[in-house]
Structure 1
Amino acid sequence: MSTVNLTREQLEERLLALHHASLELVRDVSLESLLEKIARLACEQVNAQYAAVGVVGPNGELEAFIPVGMSEEEIRRMAHPPRGLGLIGTLMRSEKPIRLRDVTSDPRSVGFPPHHPFMTSFLGVPIRQGNRQLGQIYLTNKRDAPEFTEEDEQLIEMLAAYAAVAITNARIYRQLVERDRILTRRNENLALLNELASTLATSSDIDQILDKALTQVLDYLQLEVGEVYLRQENGRTLQRMLHRGSVVEALWQREEFALGESIIGQVAKRDQPFVFKPAPPDGQGLHPQVILQHFQQVACLPIRGRQGVLGVLCVASRHARPLDDLEMQFLATISSWMGLAIENVRLNLQGRRLAVLEERERIGMDLHDGVIQSIYAVGLTLEHARLLIHQDPQAALQRIEQAIRDIDSTIRDIRAYILDLRPRQLQNETLMQGIRRLVKEFHANTLLNVDLQGPEDELAGLPEIQAVALFHICQEALANIAKHARARHVEVTLWKTTDRVLLEVRDDGRGFDPQQVCQSIGHGLSNMQTRARQAGGEVEIISEPGAGTTILAWVPLTNDE
């Protein structure tokens, strides 16, 4: 085997030139352009006609193969890129270079595919980092000699060392860029989720929840069409509740599916997402326009609540790029949040309906035990008067007068119920003016004496939240006195300290045990506590049987507490 040996000075010059040229490699952070630079630099250094760089993937397979020296037409005509067989496969498993005078005569060669350029001399050098092989440099057809020399081999080994560092840097940079992209996308997802959470948590309208969530999802992920199907009260039917997107009038031909029927029903029944590409002729039940508009992807995700699947969210896109894992995770999160928000609204409605039923039952019991029995007693009195009218007219007259007094008392009881049930607000009044109005109405309905004391102008600047809270607490306290206290005198006092406003409502009625009342009905008392706490204050209830009742409430002067 004849070679042309270089002098020491010539070899040092080539190594120095290679060193300067290789420094440019580590500055390139794009893996694709870096591999091409390595191949071209290898060609220049040893004067080869063809060169290529192969990169090994995580599983040891040939992940990328970048050739130089061939035209794009020649590359296109070849049946397939190298697969890692023959000499290429041998070099992928080797720790040392392979240098041949004629590649076709080596028994490890498996030949060339059709339209592959003819090659003779060969030099292959592994690109290694420690004990791990990153890739290989391949060189063929040395131009000025029948084969590659030992000096050529040394130069390419040095280039391979630089290439190992450059490839590692490029991969690290690619990983950092990908991590940055993922973190940026996740931050964007979290920002949108936070915005949606505010809407979904505060909205009491299911239509608003669906519209807000679906509109923002379509805009954020740049999807053309979206639909929401919800399970109906029978639990066996899913009905289309919302469609968004002007590209098609509907995603599915039907507006209603049974549980387990078609893709919509299967997603709801199995509680599993389903992603597919629309395909003719039937399009899997999709609307014909979806096929005509060349939609590339449809994703259906279950809308989950705490007690199961509430419906199905469908989105569709004409983009060639499919939804990635992050986007599918985002859609799954949105669908779950929609489910929880819908469930909360439904539970809230059920709670309000139950509260109305409980309040109706309480009012019915109060009316039965008080008003109806009083009217029944009036009827008995009048019946007795009718029997006495001829025998003892004076006694009959006394019975009629007693009936009139009982009817007046019953009318006052009915007015007290109306006073309690009728909604009231501050009507462009100060707190003191509003409470004076309550006291005036209370006196007209109950004929009880009320002593009202409080400042006029000092509370004019009290924030509306605090003023309305004290107004309703006073209303609730007066209503309870009218219904239950049997009082003769009531005192209402309003005053201000440096940091709060206080309200005291005191009566000399029959009193009660606060613990027992709270455990039985207690709606009025709990309402007072709730209103005070929502305004940043508190309520204290002092009462005992036979000793009257005192309601003491306070709220802060500002909204800061």
Structure 2
Amino acid sequence: MDVQRLRAITIVAPLGYLLGVEILTFVLIERAVGSDLVLRLVIIFGLLAVGAVPFSFWVFSTIERQQRDLVESLAATSRRNRELDAVNRASASISRALDLPQVLQNIVEAARDVVSARYAALGVTDESGRITQLITSGITAEQRFALGPLPEGHGLLGVLIRDGKPLRIPDISRDCRAHGFPPNHPRMKNLLGVPILLNDSVGGDLYLADKIGAEEFSQEDENLLVLLSQHAGLAIQNARLYRDALSVRDRLEILTFHLEAKVAERTQQIQSYSQQLTTRVLEAQEKERKRIARELHDETAQSLATLLINLDMCESLLPVDNPALLAMFARLRALATRTLEETRELSHDLRPTILDDVGLIAAVQWFAEEYTRTFGVEVGVDAEDPPTGRLSPEVEIALFRIAQEALTNSGKHAEASHVDVTLTFREEYARLVVEDNGKGFDLEQVAGATRKGCLGMYGMRERAALLAGTVAIDTAPGKGTRVTVVVSLKNKAERDRASEGLATC
């Protein structure tokens, strides 16, 4: 009976009873006793007592019963709250881990704690229902090792795997489906098992044995374990997704590593091929310069010199009374003389013989004098003698061409009044500095120079790179320009070995 009905009865019933007593008094008692007021009151009080005492007992018994029901309900609610709290804490403990083995172990420990069981196990099954993993709680590692191989799914374990629904056994020894325990297996009395669903299919089973504090597992234990198994299924799915994500990440890292290695290897090959090609181009260019310079010197210049000699021999044969012919002859000689001088200058520009005959320092000094003669700008040359005497031809040619290009750029664009050229040697490196006091320029505008523009700057860098060297340009508008070149004095084989060593670091 609810409170509202009890309240209505306790109000309406006394009123009805009093009304009935009053009617009975008026109709029967008053006629029976007449005017005897005392007897009349005694009869009325007796009637009231006869009705009030049972009614009071009924009301108090109803209140006591409702109090007991309320206490039992509160106790059940409190117990349910505690159980749900235990499930929530267990679920939180399960969900905190992402590593799959740790998640499975957390599930077993949480299940054992929630239903107060002495032993717990989680069997992970494949699509055919075969147990592929067995995670235990309540036994030591030594006991688990002594159990031997994984169970094959016979007996009660097989029933749970096949049926895919909760299984609660009060006494394992009395269940006809039980197959007994294998050697070294702890003795267990009662069993509670529930499946773990993964994507609407059974992916494993929870087994709890030997209820602590009771003779068997209850329906509430089963309900709690079913609820926990739902959280466990989600946790296992998340852990597997995390494992798959890590696996994909690891594969991507491996693929990226191999790809980067391949790219680095290919880049090294391209750079090596580019350097070889550039070397061959520059070598061919120098050979062609040398060949043309030699032909100009040995053939064209000699022919022009012979022409001038023949002109000198023919001059005495000219009639002195023909001024027009003499003037034409003089112009012809002047043209031949100028052509001879230009041919010799072109021959020297293409390949100064002094570079091959004397060496780098003499060639730089000669070009500095030619620069002063051409641009009218004083050039100071401060050069040390190489520590090993003559340098290798490739180093001498590269440093001379870089100095030549830097001086030519300065003469064409810098509007300088003075240029300094410094050449020093330190152990295995040579350092060339060409510095002017000209107007400078904005380096950012030509920082990305390629073969499409700023060919001189690109060529200097290419020549230095072939000798494992660098070119640094320090300039700004109004502050002059300094070109610093550092190249290796090692031979090509030594430079290649050093480059391979750096590439594999």
TM-score under structure 1 normalisation? 0.43
Q: Could you say which structure has the larger radius of gyration?
A: 2
Q: Which has the higher helix share?
A: 2
Instruction: Say which structure is richer in strand.
Output: 1
